[in-house]
Structure 1
């Protein structure tokens, strides 16, 4: 079977009015990107489904997806209705990416979805999108309901990083969003877990699309660019990822709490301050090693070569992230569109 071309996407946070974000999405479409992925965090950004609606109406070709929404702050029935509504406006172009919650749940004092809750939630979503009747139990008792005008063709992709969720994603999701970066060592471990899950579900692992997220910078000065991602490296180490970093000879020992950064290390409002604060634990050398191993930092030729190598391992897609949560990735779109995509 011939391998399909690598899909290259871009992550665009809904950090401005929807109509202005659509201008950025159109530019990504014009520049040759295959997909745009929108994160969902109700206190950090505009509503993701409002933004998706505007993007669906304002584009023609580019794929649209959530990376990712959740089933904690949003009830599965609400997500099913929203997904159906976007899919109607962009037939065949919408992917519903789901995760455990992260920056959506923390700021409002809720807990991330457990693996069991993700299994139950995806099953309910799939049933609703297929138009099936389902029981809902609440304070008023149990009622049986269904989604009117369903869209069963909406693909459900699950974002995962830990072993349990990686196996679950391989078992039940229509695709997997890998949060391991592009490090060959950690990526191999993650894909092995997905394959194990697929086997448990009686599926051919080769038919489960894999999309990898990666921070990207087209630059001749990797050292300077790497210093800007110290908060990312610190966050991974702080949230249980230190062993994965160590596999790539990136050694970071973080305290449980880091003061002075809001709302968290990955989405810091004052990024320069977050870089300065995390420099106490993340050296320039560690940041450079992290950028070289886990991210796509370098010249256009170097990035294109790493993307080809990534595709050769069986990865179907990648979505690129810029450093920053509260501005659109305009510079990254221009740089990748002008020099990396033509090389592919």
Structure 2
């Protein structure tokens, strides 16, 4: 287990729950602190079914949603599901929430607004604490057998939701990558929200989401990131990229990729299409600035730097949505995690 910085792995529920649990167990064996599961009803198996199997099939590793949403799932339904998983993994479950993205887009729904997210977090906290909530101004109800210890973490990238996270969430999942410039901007907004609400910013857990690959061939590995970079630019993230010297212009609609750039079923085709806007050189810069791509030693140093910057956790993502991150778990588990305490001891 890492010292100080929690290192997690994102595991898509891309197979039967019992098979996914085998991947989670391996991550637990190798010393990962957390396993995070995304939620998208058309892309993967049900996230809470998978979490239930993971809770029953592991002993130590933290479990969390990264992330579920309050658009396709009513807050009361999410509260019940979260309570059910938390009962099976006492002290190990974190409920990560976001605006919806790949859950809402394919079925024609809109992402959750900041106002709706604020109210939804209020509903969740009240129900999980065992308090009544007045629904639709008509009926007051409560959750039987609540689980008040479930932390609510909000995933955010825009300034409004970053401030909201600092104001009301138990923790923040930062979607700004590991670039020092964008990370500093994101955490500043979280601090504003926390201090405006009279909270102590330093006590709020900050978890950074980062694509990761242990490689000696950065140029070749970075090409795989072109759809990720293009998606960020396409969805309002061009100013973030520009802070790191990455200037790209991607059309609002990209044809030939299903269901979207980040979750493309034909990844090689998506890379080819995105090469029209993302050059090989840009992909390398994106990998260096925003992602954890490089040798084990380089990744270890960057993780240490993140911890020194106030980040309390990371969860690593492999490129791809429909296969388990087996190679990433093995390489990071063997080459990075064992070195983290040593680096901190040498430089602390």
1:288 is the counterpart of 2:284: yes
Residue 252 (structure 1) shift? 0.9
The residue number in structure 2 matching 1:44 is 43
Q: What aligned pairs does 1:183-332 form with structure 2 within 5 A after superposition?
A: 183-332=179-328
Q: What aligned pairs does 1:115-194 form with structure 2 within 5 A after superposition?
A: 115-137=114-136, 142-194=138-190
Residue 11 (structure 1) shift? 0.1
Q: Secondary structure at the match of 2:338?
A: coil
| CA distance in 1 between partners of 2:23 and 2:66 (Å) | 17
| CA distance in 1 between partners of 2:122 and 2:77 (Å) | 14
| CA distance in 2 between partners of 1:256 and 1:267 (Å) | 16
CA offset digits 1:73-111 (Å, max 9, x no partner): 000000000000000000000000000000000000000
Residue 67 (structure 1) shift? 0.3
Residue 332 (structure 1) shift? 0.2
Q: Give the count of matched residue pairs.
A: 338
The residue number in structure 2 matching 1:17 is 16
Could you state the TM-score of these two structures normalised by the residue count of structure 2? Answer: 0.96
Residue 305 (structure 1) shift? 0.3
| CA distance in 2 between partners of 1:292 and 1:86 (Å) | 37
| CA distance in 2 between partners of 1:224 and 1:55 (Å) | 34
Q: Secondary structure at the match of 1:96?
A: strand
Unpaired runs of at least 5, structure 2: 341-348
| CA distance in 1 between partners of 2:302 and 2:141 (Å) | 48
Residue 195 (structure 1) shift? 0.3
Unpaired runs of at least 5, structure 1: none
1:86 is the counterpart of 2:85: yes
Q: Secondary structure at the match of 1:342?
A: helix
Q: Secondary structure at the match of 2:94?
A: strand
Which range is displaced more, 246-255 or 224-233? Answer: 246-255
The residue number in structure 1 matching 2:5 is 6
Q: Secondary structure at the match of 2:28?
A: helix
Give the root-mean-square deviation of aligned CA atoms: 0.7
| CA distance in 1 between partners of 2:252 and 2:203 (Å) | 39
The residue number in structure 2 matching 1:63 is 62
| CA distance in 1 between partners of 2:195 and 2:280 (Å) | 42
| CA distance in 2 between partners of 1:26 and 1:82 (Å) | 22
| CA distance in 2 between partners of 1:82 and 1:22 (Å) | 18
| CA distance in 1 between partners of 2:92 and 2:132 (Å) | 26
CA offset digits 1:256-279 (Å, max 9, x no partner): 100000000000000000000000
Residue 136 (structure 1) shift? 1.5
Q: Secondary structure at the match of 1:229?
A: helix
Residue 143 (structure 1) shift? 1.7
**Which structure 1 residue ranges, 4+ long, deviate > 4 Å from structure 2?**
none
1:33 is the counterpart of 2:32: yes
Residue 135 (structure 1) shift? 1.4
